[in-house]
């Protein structure tokens, strides 16, 4: 860690001591992301996204507030075992954390599909404010001391939840990887081609355009029709939640946060993504920032070892706020 609070993380052994057996679709996902682009990773993602089982078999699934929630609890876990809640981003789902979860098998890890997405698609009405997403997250935490890890939009949810709970609340520590900050001028420099969908857009078409920007037109065309339908079905949630953070004042004030906060960014992420994380770290009391070497915005997919290290650093920082003094490492 440098004096400025910056750290550089490379993929390595997280020391979890045990990895859960790997499923076939997860192997395909890893091979696809680790290999050269030939459309294989899109097909692997499609297999995951359209699998009827989702995270079935990982742990116990329940549905607080109508949300699909999965808990992975290691053998012998006690009340002293750190609880980590992973919050996914826009047009994503809890299964995107699969590779990271395999490296955190000594922790109690909770994942959930946010309202309107995948297995939580029937949880209505959709949230029209970030506060609604915070309500959902806190219903998942259910008053337990928790380290909350948010990727992209999930980072905004995590930060807003920490502000609401205060320094003595259930959120003991936060790690946010490249959360969107569209209220900052630096975010507006992305250009017209990156303009987000608006409330007046057709949700299905907005989801398709959003996904095409991520994987390219060829990537979209390689998807089987069922996978395309899955993404289009998430369009209403996408359009609604992006509008929620693009109107009115900033939805949270990081200068008021009273818990340890860790920000993450990819070495190869886009300038506005990196710049947003840097700005947030500079304006959050006591915050640290971690850079994952070689990674872009999808670091949890491409660099799961380093992302798991990012999670563990947040757990250790959370120990200062009511979790065990020594978290597994």
pLDDT in tens, 230-279: 889 989 999 988 989 988 889 999 999 999 999 999 999 999 999 999 99
- CA distances to 168, 178, 186 from 270, in Å: 35, 10, 12
> b/e string for 114-130 if b means 16 or more Cβ within 10 A?
bbbbbbbbebeebbebb
Query: What global pTM score does this model have?
Result: 0.80
Give the other-Cβ count within 10 Å of 228's Cβ: 19
Output the tens digit of pLDDT for each of the chain's 329 residues. Answer: 333 355 544 433 333 434 444 444 344 434 433 333 334 344 444 444 444 444 444 454 566 578 999 999 999 898 889 999 999 999 899 999 999 999 999 999 999 999 998 888 888 899 999 999 999 999 999 999 999 999 999 999 999 999 999 999 999 999 999 999 999 988 865 544 455 555 457 889 988 888 888 777 888 888 888 888 888 998 999 998 898 998 888 999 999 999 999 999 999 999 999 999 999 999 999 999 999 999 999 999 999 999 999 999 999 998 765 444 333 33
6-321 CATH pick, 3.40.50.1820, 3.20.20.140, 3.50.40.10, 3.30.460.10: 3.40.50.1820
Domain range list for the chain: 6-321
3-state DSSP call for residue 123?
coil
Distance CA 147, CA 136 (A): 16
Closest CA to 157 of 171, 144, 142, 143: 171
Cβ contact 223:42 at 8 Å: yes
């Amino acid at each position: 860690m440098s004096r400025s609070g910056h750290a550089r993380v490379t993929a390595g052994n997280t020391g979890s001591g045990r990895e859960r057996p790997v499923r076939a679709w997860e192997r395909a996902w890893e091979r696809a992301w680790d290999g050269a682009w030939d459309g294989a990773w899109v097909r692997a993602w499609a297999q995951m996204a359209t699998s009827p089982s989702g995270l079935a078999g990982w742990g116990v699934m329940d549905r607080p507030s109508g949300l699909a929630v999965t808990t992975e609890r290691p053998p012998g876990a006690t009340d002293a075992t750190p609880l980590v809640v992973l919050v996914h981003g826009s047009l994503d789902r809890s299964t995107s954390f699969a590779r990271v979860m395999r490296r955190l098998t000594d922790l109690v890890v909770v994942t959930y599909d946010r309202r309107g997405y995948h297995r939580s698609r029937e949880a209505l009405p959709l949230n029209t404010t970030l506060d609604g997403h915070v309500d959902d997250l806190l219903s998942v935490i259910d008053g337990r001391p928790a380290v909350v890890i948010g990727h992209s939009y999930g980072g905004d949810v995590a930060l807003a939840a920490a502000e609401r709970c205060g320094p003595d609340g259930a959120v003991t520590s936060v790690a946010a990887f490249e959360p969107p900050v569209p209220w900052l001028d630096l975010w507006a420099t992305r250009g017209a081609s990156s303009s987000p969908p608006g409330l007046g857009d057709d949700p299905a078409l907005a989801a398709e355009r959003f996904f095409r920007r991520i994987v390219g037109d060829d990537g979209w065309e390689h998807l089987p029709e069922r996978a395309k339908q899955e993404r289009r079905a998430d369009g209403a949630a996408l359009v609604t939640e992006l509008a929620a953070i693009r109107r009115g004042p900033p939805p949270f004030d990081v200068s008021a946060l009273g818990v340890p906060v860790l920000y993450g960014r990819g070495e190869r992420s886009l300038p506005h993504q990196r710049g947003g994380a840097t700005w947030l770290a500079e304006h959050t009391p006591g915050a640290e920032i971690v850079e994952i070497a070689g990674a872009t915005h999808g670091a949890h997919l491409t660099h799961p070892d380093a992302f798991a290290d990012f999670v563990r650093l947040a757990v250790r920082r959370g120990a200062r706020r009511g979790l065990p003094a020594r978290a597994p490492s």
